[in-house]
Homo-oligomer: A and B are copies of this chain.
C-alpha cells in the first residue's frame, strides 16, 4: 500500500496546465486567470472628491471663511475652469477635483446662500480627496493563476478590461461501469441499482471549474467498455467509476490496457477508497475510482479536484485543509488515513457515527471530511483536527 500523498503525487504527475482561451468579462467569474490582466488606466483616473461638498484651496479653510461658488463638478461632468482664492466649486462624490482646489469641505460643514457659502465652526479636517491612481495605476496587473471572484470581476471592469484570458475548462469524461447500473428514471431490475456516482462527480467537477462529459453506462463486457472509451476522445481526463478493484469482474483495467493504458494500479492506505487506477491512455490522463458511492465521491475530492486545479494552472498540491475543534473523543486510527464524514459548525466538528462507505445519506448530511492520519493516537474532545470542506 502507498500513502494518500504518494497516490496523489502519481495522479498529479499525469496532468499539466491546459491552454488558455479568451472570454468576455461577463463570463469570467469562477474562471482561472491564465495571463496577466493589465490595467489600461489609472483609478481614479483623476483626483476625485470622496464626498458631496465644495472644492476649495485648502489653505483658505478656516471657521467662518466665505467663498463664491463659480461652478459645479459632477460625476461625468467636471468643471473646466480653475478654483482661485476666495472661490469654490460645488462638487459631488466621485467627480473630478477642479484645477486649483486641494480640499473638499463636506456640505454638512457649509451654509449656502445663493452663490456664497460660509464655513461652519467645527470643520471636518479630512480633505476628502481621492488621489489619481490611488486604487491602481495603468500597467498594474492581476497575475495568474487566480480564481476570479465577483470582486475581481468588478476590479477587472474598472481596469477597462472587457476580455479576459483564462484557462480552458478541463473536460472530464465520466464513465460509470457495471451491469448492475441503470440511469435515474429507469426501472431497475431486482439485482440493479441506480447510477449515482457519475451524477455526483459531474456536479462536483463542474462546481470546481471543469466541464463534465457524462458517458453512457459501460457494461461489464469488452464491446461496451470499448464503445465508452471511444467517446472519451478529446477529453482532458477520463474518470472510470467501478471496476478498479481486483475482482474477477473488473474488466475495465484489461480493456483500458488493451487500448494503450500505461497503467499504475494502487492500493492506497486510505478509508474509504482503497483501490485507485491511474495512468495515461492515448495520451489522456485516466483515473479509475472505486464504484462504491461514498468512496468515489471522497476520491473525487482527494484526487480529482487537485488534478483539476493543476490543469487550471494552480500548483500541483493537495486540497488545503482547514482546522476545527473536536466535539467528542475519538479512538486511535489504524494503518489507513481515514476520511470521516463530519459536520462543521462555528469551528466545531462532529464526525457521524455511521462511517460505512455505502451510506450516501451520511455523505449528503456531511459538510466536511475529517482527516484521521495513519496510526493517529486517540484524541480528545476540544483538540484540533484537520478537515476538507465539502459542499
A interface, CB within 8 angstroms of B? 25-26, 29-30, 41, 43-46, 48, 50, 52, 74-78, 90, 92-96, 130, 134-136, 140, 142, 149-163, 178-181, 183-186, 188-197, 199-204, 206-207, 214, 220, 245-249, 291-293, 297, 300, 322-323, 346-347, 356, 358-361, 363-364, 366, 390-391
Contacts and interface: CB of A to CB of B under 8 A. Distances in A.
Given A76-B180, A155-B364, 17 more contacts: A30-B207, A44-B193, A52-B245, A52-B246, A75-B180, A77-B191, A134-B359, A135-B358, A142-B364, A150-B204, A150-B300, A151-B390, A154-B201, A155-B200, A155-B363, A159-B194, A323-B347
| 3 closest residue pairs by CB, A with B | A154-B200, A76-B179, A162-B185
A247 B149 contact: no
Given A46-B191, A149-B390, A195-B157, A346 B322 contact: yes
Contacts of A162: 183-185
Contact of A358 (B50, B181, B249): B50
Nearest to A250: B92
Nearest to A363: B151
A184 B157 contact: yes
B196 A76 contact: no
Most buried by B among A30, A154, A160: A154
B291 A203 contact: no
A95 B199 CA distance: 21
Contacts of A191: 46, 75-78, 95-96
A158 B360 contact: yes
The interface residues of chain A, by DSSP majority, are classed as: loop
B247 A52 contact: yes
Given A149-B391, A297-B150, A364-B149, A199 B25 contact: yes
A76 B181 contact: yes
12 contacts: A29-B203, A45-B193, A48-B358, A75-B180, A76-B178, A76-B189, A77-B191, A94-B193, A150-B203, A154-B297, A160-B184, A347-B347
